[in-house]
Amino acid sequence: MRPGLAILLAGLIGFCGAWAGATQATAAERGTTEEVLRIGLPLQPDIAIVLVALKQGYFADQGLRIAVTEYPSGKIALMEGLFAGKEDLVTAPDVLIALSGFDRNDFKIIATIYAVDNHNRVIARKDRGISTPRDLRGKRIATQSASAVHFFLSLFLANHGIADHEVEITFAAPHRLPEILSSGAVDAISMREPIISQAKVLLGGNAVVFDAPGLYDQTVQVVVSDAFLDKRPDAVVKILRALIRAEEYVQADSAAAKRIVAERLGIAPAQVAAVWPRRPPRVSLDQSLLSRLEAQARWAIRNKLVNTPTVPNYLNVIYLRGLDAVKPRAITVVR
């Protein structure tokens, strides 16, 4: 990794610890009876509601003392954090939940907190003869395997008349992708912020970025383990109350919310605004989530990412009781 990128990532990690500590101190000053909540977070704009809740002390107000761990992506947070028993709660995009549902059902979605149709990007090198998406045919593209950006890449290529087999798709950890692209090892990468901006800085004038509004309505979910839910069901209600307060803050002052996210990610507010959803982030459990998960499961089966031909029943991993106790009108899942 280049020194500049390493410094940037180290700074983000340090800032996270400082912010989590500030949240804890605020709770202590108020004399609140606290319960530790271990949260695993990928630093990206789609966790805006969680970042606002942390910054504004809404978890502390519910008597929850937060221990935050950063992860390079939602996939790593889910697999190496929640499923490894290191975290109580993580945020994860829909694709990861769809794939995880093939192997296990010991986790629960307690809410969707973000829905956006222009979250992912493809960034490519101009010096490889790439100026339009169709120029990607025959090129080498890196992304994160079996993830939202992998799913997006398949949709993006198909939307421009390119089959997956007409490109060489390789896989790497998200934090390595900017340097892999800048080194010339690949011609393009499929990713999201802040990694796209990191890659753009490294490439300078040699970068061309492609987006695709309306192609993929990606959602991000708050996920807890069954072990946590069984032990502390009351904590789920507290978490949701904090997130709903953050939702209200975001809706009341989206400019301030974007500044909080930009500051937290270490990127420009304009970069946050570029991927901000048309509808303000909200806490919900919608019927459309089930349809999306099933569609992604079929994609995984077609691409041989899983070993079973049967689409799971995703109702088994959706927990309605928590949101029903706090904001029942935010639920449209058919029961």
Residue 180 maps to which CATH number?
Answer: 3.40.190.10
Q: Which of 164, 187, 210 is the last residue of a domain?
A: 210
In-domain check, residue 51:
yes
Shared domain for 191 and 300, answered yes or no, is: no
Whether residue 314 sits in one domain with residue 267: yes
Report pLDDT for 64. 95
pLDDT for 335: 77
Is residue 309 situated within a structural domain?
yes
Instruction: Name residues of the chain where pLDDT drops below 50.
Output: 1-32
Write out the DSSP string of 172-196.
--GGGHHHHHHHTSSSEEEEETTHH
> For the chain, where are the alpha helices, taking DSSP H only?
3-29, 48-55, 58-61, 74-76, 94-100, 148-159, 177-183, 195-203, 226-231, 233-252, 254-265, 269-274, 287-302, 321-326
160 and 31 both lie in a single domain: no
Domain stops at, among 195, 210, 225: 210
Same domain? 61 vs 175: no
Please check whether residue 289 lies inside any domain of the structure.
yes
Helix (H, G, I), strand (E, B) or coil at 93: strand
**Cβ atoms of 55 and 84 closer than 8 Å:** no
DSSP assignment, residue 79?
I
Q: Within this chain, do residues 38 and 20 fall inside the same structural domain, yes or no?
A: yes
**Does residue 109 fall inside a structural domain?**
yes
Residues 109 and 9 in one domain: yes
- Is 335 inside a domain boundary? no
Q: How many domains does the chain have?
A: 2
> Cα–Cα distance between 79 and 179 in angstroms, integer?
24
Q: Could you give the CA distance from residue 279 to residue 184 in angstroms, rounded to a whole number?
A: 38
CA distance 257 to 91: 18
Residue 285 lies in a domain: yes
Query: What's the confidence (pLDDT) of residue 34?
Result: 59
- Indicate if 266 and 154 belong to the same structural domain: no
Query: Residue 95 has which token pair?
Result: 């694709």
pLDDT at 22: 40
User: Residue 30: what pLDDT?
Assistant: 39
CB 243 within 8 A of CB 281: no
The answer on 126 and 78 residing in a single domain is: no
**Encoded amino acid at 182, one letter:** S
- Is the domain of 297 the same as that of 163? no
**Same-domain check for residues 255 and 267:** yes
Residue 15: predicted pLDDT: 38
Residue 164: give the domain boundaries.
120-210
- In this structure, the answer to whether residues 14 and 46 fall within a common structural domain is yes
Q: Are 111 and 43 members of one domain?
A: yes
Q: Which of 210, 231, 264 is the last residue of a domain?
A: 210
Angle, in degrees to the nearest 10, between helices 254-265 and 3-29: 120
Q: Which residues, in sequence order, are CB contacts of 330 under 8 Å at separation 6+?
A: 111, 282, 283, 284, 285, 323
